[in-house]
């Protein structure tokens, strides 16, 4: 099943994204939320880049610049009670699921006021109060963890789903197939969301898969699947909303493949030697934030002044979060074993 604005973007140099005329009447709040979360994610990560370059953030991190619509559109289709599991590239997912931005910024700065008391960092962001059940530095576990959460929802008779984000690379892992099989045979209300940015580190999808249409991987598990333009936040939202309804009604799992592109490098140590400037520039023209802004202006529901206000407000939120993080204390040395579980 293909949603609006679908095209095959596995080719390395994509075409331009045609502007789809959306009627936003009565859906202004949705459009603003989608845009706001994308802007917050972009500005959050640009700040991280800056403070990392100053040596004020340690370790590494994986940015999702260019992929914001996939996270924003997907999470807008969820309720607060739905559970979400993110990947190593999880900032946009956590922000879009409603995590406290100050607490997440402080976490990545390693401060005691962080959502995980500064013990987790970029790849271990979690806050179960808003259904952010954890990012993960290992490729693939989100799928299996989401099966567990969905099993709990089903057993307790709760009206919610569990969702796992994962990349195209993860679909070649055993855990992808084991989780798809388990969810299918146990009829679990779980959404498997593949952010297909066509690369696993420096490896293009076509070098590791004969059939690069990842929706075909739902077929052996008798699972419904959708493929959508992951740079169009509204199309993503509509697709995931539909998938969520199917998952709850079954209950049954659904696979959604969101075609997108990572403008940023894989992690902080990426020389971009595996792809051309031409390819990156072609994708920059498909920027999901600029695209939604154009849709909002074209529909007439929003003026340039409205967009400027949203832009300004999101900048202020991020600046405030950075000030909060920098002013916060580091965790105490004697607390190093707190929240550590080992037998
Ligand atoms: C089990 C496992 N294998 C390998 C790695 C190293 N690794 C980290 S990210 C990554 C690429 C993952 O690609 P994809 O799933 O497409 O996600 P993307 O980084 O593109 O968002 C790899 C191989 C890992 N962290 N865990
Ligand atoms: Mg990938």
Cβ-based neighbour number of residue 236 at 10 Å: 32
The CA 91 to ligand 1 mean position distance, Å, reads: 16
Q: What is the pLDDT of residues 329-340, one digit of tens each?
A: 999 999 988 888
Mutate-to-test residue for ligand 1 from 68, 136, 145, 201, highest number of ligand atoms within 8 A of CB: 201
Cβ-based neighbour number of residue 53 at 10 Å: 10
Residue 41 · residue 71 · CB < 8 Å: yes
Q: Does 187 reside within a domain?
A: yes
Report the SS3 class of residue 276.
coil
Supply the pTM of this predicted model. 0.96
Atom 13 in ligand 1: residue holding the nearest Cα: 200
- Indicate if the pLDDT at residue 5 is higher than 80: no
Q: Does 340 reside within a domain?
A: no
CA angle 198, 95, 55 (to 5 degrees): 80
Q: What is the pLDDT of residue 341?
A: 81
Q: Does 206 reside within a domain?
A: yes
**Strand pairing partners for 136?**
none
Alpha carbons 221 and 10: distance in angstroms, whole number: 24
Mutate-to-test residue for ligand 1 from 61, 87, 168, 169, highest number of ligand atoms within 8 A of CB: 169
**What's the full length of the chain, in residues?**
343
Q: What is the pLDDT of residues 111-151, one digit of tens each?
A: 999 999 999 999 999 999 999 999 999 999 999 999 999 99
- Using alpha carbons, select from 136, 186, 188 the residue that is nearest to residue 166: 136
- Indicate if the pLDDT at residue 3 is higher than 90: no
Supply the CATH number for residue 103's domain: 3.40.50.970
Q: Does 261 reside within a domain?
A: yes
Residue 193 · residue 84 · CB < 8 Å: no
The CA 316 to ligand 2 mean position distance, Å, reads: 31
DSSP 2: B
Ligand 1 atom with minimal separation from the 88 CA: 9
Ligand 1 binding residues, C-beta < 6 A:
87-89, 137-140, 166-170, 197, 199-201, 266
Alpha carbons 171 and 178: distance in angstroms, whole number: 11
User: Helix/strand/coil (H, E, C) string of 251-288?
Assistant: CCCEEEEEECCCCCCCCCCCCCCCCCHHHHHHHHCCCH
Alpha carbons 313 and 317: distance in angstroms, whole number: 6
Atom 4 in ligand 1: residue holding the nearest Cα: 139
- Indicate if the pLDDT at residue 8 is higher than 70: no
- Indicate if the pLDDT at residue 157 is higher than 80: yes
Q: What is the pLDDT of residue 56?
A: 97
The residue whose two tokens read 């206000």 is: 309
- Indicate if the pLDDT at residue 281 is higher than 50: yes
Atom 12 in ligand 1: residue holding the nearest Cα: 200
- Indicate if the pLDDT at residue 2 is higher than 50: no
The residue whose two tokens read 């700040």 is: 47
Q: In this predicted structure, which of 10-14, 115-119, 141-145, 236-240 has the lowest mean pLDDT?
A: 10-14
Residue 177 pLDDT class (50, 70, 90 cuts) = very high
Query: Could you tell me which residues come within 8 angstroms of residue 323 by beta carbon, excluding any fewer than 6 positions away?
Result: none
Report the SS3 class of residue 229.
strand
Q: What is the pLDDT of residue 12?
A: 82
Q: Which ligand is nearest to the CA of 64?
A: 1
Work out whether strand 254-259 and strand 224-229 pair parallel, antiparallel, or are unpaired. Answer: parallel
The CA 41 to ligand 2 mean position distance, Å, reads: 18
Q: Does 163 reside within a domain?
A: yes
Residue 123 · residue 134 · CB < 8 Å: no
Q: Does 13 reside within a domain?
A: no
Q: What is the pLDDT of residue 6?
A: 46
Residue 166: its H or E element: strand 162-167
On the 0-12 / 13-18 / 19+ scale of CB atoms within 10 A, 67 is: buried
Residue 268 pLDDT class (50, 70, 90 cuts) = confident
Q: What is the pLDDT of residues 61-70, one digit of tens each?
A: 999 999 999 9
Q: Does 5 reside within a domain?
A: no
* DSSP string computed for 192-228: EEEEE-SEETTEEGGGT-SS--GGGGGGGGT-EEEEE
Q: Does 186 reside within a domain?
A: yes
- Domain housing 212: 28-325
Q: What is the pLDDT of residue 74?
A: 99
Number of domains in the chain: 1
Written as six digits, the tokens of 82 are 């739905």
Q: What is the pLDDT of residue 120?
A: 92
Residue 304: its H or E element: helix 304-327
Alpha carbons 271 and 269: distance in angstroms, whole number: 7
The CA 266 to ligand 1 mean position distance, Å, reads: 9
Q: What is the pLDDT of residue 339?
A: 86
Residue 11 pLDDT class (50, 70, 90 cuts) = low
Written as six digits, the tokens of 38 are 């994308």
- Indicate if the pLDDT at residue 1 is higher than 60: no
The residue whose two tokens read 């959502």 is: 115
Q: What is the pLDDT of residues 53-99, one digit of tens each?
A: 999 999 999 999 999 999 999 999 999 999 999 999 999 999 999 99
Ligand 1 atom with minimal separation from the 64 CA: 21
Residue 27: its H or E element: none
Of the chain, the percentage scoring pLDDT greater than 90 comes to 92
């Amino acid at each position: 099943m293909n949603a609006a604005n679908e095209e095959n973007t596995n080719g390395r140099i994509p075409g331009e994204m045609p502007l789809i005329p959306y009627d936003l009447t009565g859906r202004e709040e949705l459009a603003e939320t989608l845009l706001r979360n994308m802007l917050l994610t972009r500005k959050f990560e640009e700040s991280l880049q800056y403070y990392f370059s100053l040596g004020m953030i340690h370790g590494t991190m994986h940015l999702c610049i260019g992929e914001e619509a996939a996270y924003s559109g997907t999470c807008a289709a969820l309720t607060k009670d739905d559970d979400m599991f993110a990947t190593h590239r999880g900032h946009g997912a956590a922000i879009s699921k409603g995590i406290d931005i100050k607490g997440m910024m402080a976490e990545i700065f390693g401060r005691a006021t962080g959502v995980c008391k500064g013990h987790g960092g970029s790849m271990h962001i979690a806050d179960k109060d808003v259904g952010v059940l954890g990012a993960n530095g290992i490729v693939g576990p989100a799928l299996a963890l989401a099966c567990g959460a969905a099993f709990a929802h089903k057993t307790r008779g709760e009206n919610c789903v569990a969702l796992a984000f994962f990349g195209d690379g993860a679909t070649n892992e055993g855990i992808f197939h084991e989780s798809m099989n388990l969810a299918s045979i146990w009829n679990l209300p779980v959404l498997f969301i593949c952010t297909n940015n066509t690369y696993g580190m420096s490896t293009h999808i076509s070098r590791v898969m004969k059939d690069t249409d990842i929706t075909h991987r739902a077929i052996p598990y008798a699972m419904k699947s959708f493929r959508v333009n992951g740079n169009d936040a509204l199309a993503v939202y509509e697709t995931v909303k539909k998938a969520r309804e199917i998952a709850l009604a079954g209950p049954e799992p659904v696979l959604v493949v969101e075609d997108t592109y990572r403008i940023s490098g894989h992690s902080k140590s990426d020389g971009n030697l595996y792809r051309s400037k031409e390819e990156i520039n072609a994708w920059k023209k498909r920027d999901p934030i600029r695209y939604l802004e154009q849709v909002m202006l074209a529909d007439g529901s929003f003026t340039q002044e409205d967009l400027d206000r949203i832009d300004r407000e999101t900048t202020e939120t991020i600046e405030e979060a950075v000030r909060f993080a920098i002013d916060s204390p580091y965790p105490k040395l004697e607390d190093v074993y707190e929240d550590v579980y080992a037998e």
